Amino acid sequence: MKIQDMLATFLNPVKPEAKPVQGANFAETLKEVLAADPKATAATQAPPGLAQLSAVAPVAEVKSSPTEVLDAVLSRLDTYQKALGQTGLPLKQLSSLVQNLEQDSQKLQTLAQGMPPNSPLKKVMEEAAALAYTESYKFNRGDYV
Measured between alpha carbons, how far apart are the two ends of the chain, in Å? 65
Summarize pLDDT for 23-39 with one digit per residue, the tens: 567 777 777 777 887 66
Q: Which is higher by pLDDT, 130 or 35? A: 130
Spatial separation of the C-alpha atoms in residues 69 and 81, rounded to whole Å: 18
Spatial separation of the C-alpha atoms in residues 3 and 99, rounded to whole Å: 63
User: Among residues of the chain, what percentage have pLDDT more than 70?
Assistant: 67
What is the pTM for the complete model shown? 0.58
